[in-house]
Structure 1
Amino acid sequence: MSIATLTSSVSSEDLELAKSFCKVDGTEEDDLMQTLILMARRDIIGQVGSEIDDFFDDNKTFTIAVCMKVYHNYKNRDGTTRAMTWDITDGYHSLINSMKDEYRVILWKREQEDGKQTY
């Protein structure tokens, strides 16, 4: 799936996965969940990189990171609150960093194959 597709549409399978992760039943929240999925994907792709179009295809780390971001935003969606709120977990940031590392290695290898020296 291309990055353009990932950032513009949500498959029914991806919607069901996110709903299951967030323990959401029914269809009342589907529009919100789809929006949260797209927001999470755009944020993660923006942090990791968008030059390798197939990097996120069948990438389980990406899938879990999206679910974690959706869960966090779904559970903390109030604009203001007097209740204690929580930042997203360190596990999420660890997933992002591992994807960044993997992404950079792949990008570096491709540049070496193409004869481009980045350093």
Structure 2
Amino acid sequence: MTYVISEACVDVQDRSCVDECPVDCIYEGERMLYIHPDECVDCGACEPVCPVEAIYFEDDLPEGMEPYLAINTEFFDDLGSPGGAARLDGPVPRDHPLVAALPPQGDANTDG
């Protein structure tokens, strides 16, 4: 079991959840954050601090957001399990293909 970051995070990336996570299992892509399912300890500390309510326990994903369980998992297919986001040199310079294909969300600043 794990927590999952859903579509509401796309182009927001507030990072409050990253600061709250005691095991450093939340990684940053170009447009959204992702929870590593093998590193998450299911503490739930990330969920209440998300300002856009993008984080759910996997069994509680709202209707239509179920694909984000696979999106969070598949983001790590090539990356593996680095043992914490801090071990990487900054954000991962990509997103899951389904996230990358989404149109800009809200008032997102897309100039990087």
Q: Given the two structures, how large is their TM-score scaled by the length of structure 2?
A: 0.28
Higher helix share: 1
Could you say which structure has the greater relative contact order, defined with CA pairs below 8 angstroms and 6 or more residues apart? 2
Larger Rg: 1
Higher strand share: 2
